[in-house]
Amino acid sequence: MRELAKSMVGFSWAVGLFGFQQLNKMMGTAVESPQVTAAQLDDVSRAAQRHLTADYSQQFEAGDTWQRRVIDALFDAASMQSFDPRAIASSMDPRPLMNDIDPRRMFESGIEMMQRPLDVLRTSPTTTTRPTAG
C-alpha cells in the first residue's frame, strides 16, 4: 500500500509538472517546435493508453476520434477551407461517440465499481463473537 501511495503521489507530480512544461512551450515561453511538443504529449498519452483494458481502450479511442474530428472541423471553419455547416454539424455530432462509448455500459460499470467494495465488506468474516455460557 505504501508503494502504491508513493506511486500515485509521484504520478500526479510528474503529470502536473509535465503539463506545466508543455503549456509553457505552447504559450511560446520556451523555444521548441510544435512537432517536438506534440510528440512529447503523444508519448505520455501512449504510456497511459498501454495500461487500458480492451473496454476502456475502446472508450478512449471513441472519445479521442471525436475530439479530433471536432478540432478538424473548427480549424477548417476558422481557415475557411470548407465552410459547409452540414459537414461541421455532422463531424461534431456526438451520436457515433455515444454508440461507441455506450453510456449504459459506463453507468453499469460505475454501479458495479461501487457495489464490489460493499460486497467485499459484506462477505468478509465477522469478528464479533457470541457470548458463551461459563
Partner 1 sequence: MDVRDLTKSALTLPWAISMFGVQQLANLVGARPSQRGLTGAASAFDSVSDAAAEQLDGWMKQTYKVGASVQGAAVDLMLLRAPEMNSSALMRMAAELQSGPLFQFIVKYGMPPVGWLDSFLVPRRDSEAVRQEFANKLYIISLVTQVHSALGLDTQSNPSLPAIIERAAAMETFPRLWATEGVGNYWGDQAWTRSGGIDPVGLLNDASTAALPPWSLTMLHAGIGMSFAKKVLAGLETTTPPEAVRSGIARFATLCRHSSRPGYTGAALESLGLATRTLYPNLVPVLDREIPSVDRTLHGYFWHGAGRAMYFDPMNMLPSVNAPWRAIRRLETEAPHPLAYRNALSGLSWAITVVNMRHPSVMEAFLRHHADVARANDAFGNGVASSLMMRYDTTRDDARIAPFIHNRPSDQAVAAAWQSLITLPCAEALRATYGELSQNGRLEELFHDADHS
**For partner 1, the closer CB: 55 or 93:** 55
Nearer to partner 1, 27 or 133 (CB): 27
3-state secondary structure of 121: helix
Shortest Å, Cβ 128 to partner 1: 21
- Min dist. Cβ of residue 110 to partner 1 (A): 9
CB of 99 to partner 1, least distance (A): 18
DSSP-assigned letter for residue 126: P
Which residues of this chain interact with partner 1, rule CB under 8 A? 1-11, 13-15, 17-22, 26, 34-35, 37-53, 56, 59-60, 63-64, 67-68, 71-72, 75, 109, 112-114, 116-117, 120
Whole-angstrom distance, CA of residue 71 vs CA of residue 38: 15
How many Cα atoms are found within 13 Å in the side-chain-facing hemisphere of 33?
3
- In the complex with partner 1, the residue whose CB is nearer, 12 or 129, is 12
Judged by beta carbon, residue 75 or residue 107, the one nearer partner 1 is 75
Cα–Cα nearest to 91, from 75, 109, 113: 75
What is the phi-psi region of residue 60: left when phi exceeds 0, alpha when psi lies from -120 to 50, beta otherwise? alpha
Non-local CB neighbours of 94 within 8 Å, separated by 6+ positions: 66
Q: In angstroms, what is the minimal distance from the CB of 87 to partner 1?
A: 16
Residue nearer to partner 1 on the CB measure, 42 or 93: 42
